[in-house]
Amino acid sequence: MSRVPAHWLIKRLRSVWRRWSLWGMLVALVVAMLVTLVWLAGRYEASVVQDQLERDAADAVADIRSALARNVLSLQALQSGSSDAVLWESQAQALLRERREIVRIEWRTPTMRLQAFANSPFHAIAWTSDARAEPHSETTLACTNARRLSGPAYSSSYFQPHGDGMGSELIELCLPPSATDRRGSYLVATYSLQGLLTEMVGKGLTRRQEVSFTEADGTRLALVGAARRSAYLFSARQLLDLPGTTMLLRMDGWHAAPSLFPNVLTALVTAMSIALVTVLVVLVRDNRRRLQAERDLGDAFAFRKAMEDSLVTGLRARDLQGRITYVNPAFCEMVGFSAQELLGQSTNAPYWPPELAEEYWRRQAVRLAGNAPPREGFESVFMRKDGTRFPVLIIEAPLINAVGQHTGWMSAFIDISEQRRVEELSRASQERLQATARLAMVGEMASLLSHELNQPLAAISSYATGSLNLLEQARDADDTHLRADLDEVRTAIGRVAQQAERAGRVIKSVHDFVRRRDQAREAVPAQELLGDVLPLVNLQARKLGVRVEVEVEPDLPPAHCDRVMIEQVLLNLARNAMQAMDDPSIRQRTLQIRVRRAAFNAHSAWLEFTLIDGGVGIDEDTARRLFTPFFTTRAEGMGLGLSLCRTVVEQHGGFLGHRAHHPRGTVFTFTLPAAPQEGPD
């Protein structure tokens, strides 16, 4: 099991941790910044609202103060006006109608006795006539203050019930007798706090917020303004300092629920920050994708490199100027030069045999001129670093880059020396077989000649012998001349007989030489016989478009035969069969070769070889003369093949025959003895 080294693991963990912690910090920083920003913006927004409220409260107080001051002037005018009570009352009534915040005006004597009074028609306070006969304690207090201050003085607020269960908060204003007032009477005006707020505070201020007078403990005395609208309350307090009393004005503003992004700027900055973070995330994703793509590219490159390195085909790329731009290891190995020695070469490549360099230059020039090479490739000869030449098959194709531009040429090289060697071997063996075939033919011919010539020679010999006998009988004649002539004739004829005998012996020796192959018999398995012949058969079969089917019965004993001669027989029969199918009308071209066990008994076993073709067949006339030497129907035929086959088969003790095959074609069959099996003793 492979173990990952611990230090590597720790290093990797550290780098991962560092990367993630950096990212974490960055994100935390951005989030903290955003939160702070939003919070600060919220605070700012609140302070703006609060400031506005404070300003409004101050405005309200100023409004009230100036209105009160105005009222004081009006009241002073009333005070110093008519001394007639009825007239006074009507003037007071007019003032009350004008100033709705005043609920009652009283004219009191220096002893505080009620001289005259007027009630506001706008306030539903049930003043009992005797209740105000004596001044209210607050009135007294105010007037005491007024006298002390020699100016208008206000009392503290007090609650005046209306009689209907409701009531109002009121304050008293007391104007002391002026210096010019001979009567020395007081003018007391009663203000409703509610009226003060309603009448004196600007409408604009009460529309959006609530204005109230409160006590120090927060109890509301009077209140005007908008109803409460939301939960976020802002509050401002202002003191209303009046001579004799101080009141607290409170202004409450409700601000709508503060939005998360209180203003456009914050929203903008937040949006930009979010956009920034998004861009950051996208960038990181993009970076990661790029890294992944780089890794994939690296993998693909490594795969391509591994593929190129493990190829047995040599690869070479050249640019349009003919410079070598790439070679793979297989090419380097093929030619024996290193990649450094080859790259950038544009002159004579070091693997060009010098004697062929000129031709190769021409070829390269043609290629660089833009002519496409043949698709099936072409053969050439290269030279290894050690000077040995070897044949290569070159397949070239234009190199087109990613944008479809032709940038050079890519070539694949296949070292075909081994293929050439095999072809050479098979050619040699074919030649050998053909030579054997020719030899066998010659032998057959010689054998036939000897057979044919033997008889005439024997006749010559016997005629010579007869003639000699006749001459012997003539020896007894008396004529010496004739005797001498006869002797000469006898000698001559004796020589004829001798020569004829010699010729007979020569022919017999040739015959014997041909037959001598009897001794070359051995046990050969049928598979081996077919195995030797099939390459040659297949060669012709491919040429003629014939399919060859071989069927050998299993566990056959080997044949006892002369291997070379039987191979000749098989070759001849197969060749005849395929030639018989070489007819344009024949589409189904199958040659079946079958070997099986034939007659079989305790003493001998036979093998039967059958060759079935679907050829033109053999008509009767041909059949009669089939085995006759020199009979052929082909222009290039010799007519010896079948007769040789029969001789060979019969020499082995076998039988060669033929019959028609249905629906068409011929079946040739021959038998061979099986090699004697060595049974258990």
> What type of residue is 273?
S
Nearer to ligand ADP, 65 or 575 (CB): 575
Nearer to ligand ADP, 295 or 438 (CB): 438
> How far is 451 from 207, CA to CA, in rounded Å?
150
State yes or no: residue 612 binds ligand ADP (CB under 6 A).
Answer: no
N residues, the chain? 681
Taking the complex as a whole, how short is the minimal distance between the CB of residue 453 and ligand ADP, in angstroms?
A: 22
Of residues 121, 163, 202, 637, which one binds ligand ADP by CB under 6 A? 637
Applying the rule CB under 6 A, the residues between 640 and 659 that interact with ligand ADP are 641-642
Binding piece for ligand ADP, criterion CB under 6 A, among 93-101, 519-527, 614-622, 648-656: 614-622
Taking the complex as a whole, how short is the minimal distance between the CB of residue 601 and ligand ADP, in angstroms?
A: 31
> How far is 579 from 563, CA to CA, in rounded Å?
24
Nearer to ligand ADP, 466 or 637 (CB): 637
Nearer to ligand ADP, 197 or 571 (CB): 571
Nearer to ligand ADP, 118 or 645 (CB): 645
Binding piece for ligand ADP, criterion CB under 6 A, among 382-390, 425-433, 457-465, 631-639: 631-639
Applying the rule CB under 6 A, the residues between 337 and 366 that interact with ligand ADP are none
Residues of 147-165 as b/e, b for ≥16 C-beta within 10 angstroms? Answer: eeeebbbbbebbebeeeee
Number of residues that bind ligand ADP (CB under 6 A): 21
Nearer to ligand ADP, 58 or 441 (CB): 441
State yes or no: residue 576 binds ligand ADP (CB under 6 A).
Answer: yes
> How far is 279 from 64, CA to CA, in rounded Å?
58
What are the backbone dihedrals phi and psi of residue 381, each rounded to the nearest 5 degrees, phi first? -120, 130
Taking the complex as a whole, how short is the minimal distance between the CB of residue 662 and ligand ADP, in angstroms?
A: 14
Cα–Cα distance list, 572 to 6, 386, 576, 634 (Å): 77, 47, 6, 14
Binding piece for ligand ADP, criterion CB under 6 A, among 118-126, 270-278, 486-494, 634-642: 634-642
**Long-range contacts, stretch 71-77, CB < 8 angstroms, 24+ apart:** 71/99, 71/101, 71/102, 71/173, 71/189, 72/152, 72/173, 72/175, 74/98, 74/99, 75/105, 75/152, 75/173, 75/175, 75/187, 75/189, 76/152, 76/175, 76/178, 76/187
State yes or no: residue 223 binds ligand ADP (CB under 6 A).
Answer: no
DSSP character at residue 674 = B
State yes or no: residue 615 binds ligand ADP (CB under 6 A).
Answer: yes
Scan for tokens 């007819």, then name that residue.
583
**Residue-by-residue DSSP string for 619-671:** -HHHHHHTTSTT--SSTT--S-HHHHHHHHHHHTT--EEEEE-SSS-EEEEEE
Taking the complex as a whole, how short is the minimal distance between the CB of residue 646 and ligand ADP, in angstroms?
A: 9
Question: How big is the CA angle at 103 (ends 97 and 104), to the nearest 5 degrees?
Answer: 95
Binding piece for ligand ADP, criterion CB under 6 A, among 15-23, 380-388, 411-419, 574-582: 574-582
Cα–Cα distance list, 607 to 551, 646, 650, 652, 674 (Å): 13, 16, 14, 12, 6
State yes or no: residue 580 binds ligand ADP (CB under 6 A).
Answer: yes
> How far is 565 from 444, CA to CA, in rounded Å?
12
Taking the complex as a whole, how short is the minimal distance between the CB of residue 545 and ligand ADP, in angstroms?
A: 17
State yes or no: residue 137 binds ligand ADP (CB under 6 A).
Answer: no
Binding piece for ligand ADP, criterion CB under 6 A, among 97-105, 319-327, 406-414, 611-619: 611-619
State yes or no: residue 622 binds ligand ADP (CB under 6 A).
Answer: yes
State yes or no: residue 618 binds ligand ADP (CB under 6 A).
Answer: yes
| Beta-strand pair 590-600/547-552 | parallel
Nearer to ligand ADP, 194 or 568 (CB): 568
State yes or no: residue 634 binds ligand ADP (CB under 6 A).
Answer: yes
Provide the angle, in degrees to the nearest 10, between the axes of the packed helices 264-310 and 6-79: 170
DSSP character at residue 165 = S
Nearer to ligand ADP, 266 or 576 (CB): 576
Nearer to ligand ADP, 92 or 644 (CB): 644
Task: Quote the tokens at residue 634.
Answer: 């082909």
Taking the complex as a whole, how short is the minimal distance between the CB of residue 374 and ligand ADP, in angstroms?
A: 38
Nearer to ligand ADP, 223 or 437 (CB): 437
DSSP character at residue 613 = -
State yes or no: residue 445 binds ligand ADP (CB under 6 A).
Answer: no
Q: Could you tell me which residues are beta bridge partners of residue 396?
A: 411
Of residues 140, 160, 245, 666, which one binds ligand ADP by CB under 6 A? 666
Question: Which residues does 482 contact at the CB level (< 8 Å), separation at least 6?
Answer: 474
Sheet strand arrangement including 245-255: 220-225, 209-214, 245-255, 232-242
Taking the complex as a whole, how short is the minimal distance between the CB of residue 521 and ligand ADP, in angstroms?
A: 24
State yes or no: residue 639 binds ligand ADP (CB under 6 A).
Answer: yes
Nearer to ligand ADP, 138 or 613 (CB): 613
Q: List for the chain the helix, strand, coil content (%; round to 5).
A: 50, 20, 30
Of residues 416, 633, 655, 661, which one binds ligand ADP by CB under 6 A? 633
Binding piece for ligand ADP, criterion CB under 6 A, among 182-190, 197-205, 393-401, 612-620: 612-620
Scan for tokens 């010689």, then name that residue.
446
Burial class of residue 659 (count of CB atoms within 10 Å of its CB; 0-12, 13-18, 19+): exposed
Nearer to ligand ADP, 217 or 621 (CB): 621
4 touches 12 (CB < 8 A)? no
Taking the complex as a whole, how short is the minimal distance between the CB of residue 448 and ligand ADP, in angstroms?
A: 13
Nearer to ligand ADP, 398 or 629 (CB): 629
Of residues 240, 577, 586, 649, which one binds ligand ADP by CB under 6 A? 577
State yes or no: residue 540 binds ligand ADP (CB under 6 A).
Answer: no
Catalog residues that contact ligand ADP under the rule CB under 6 A.
572, 576-577, 580, 613, 615-618, 622, 626, 631-634, 637-639, 641-642, 666
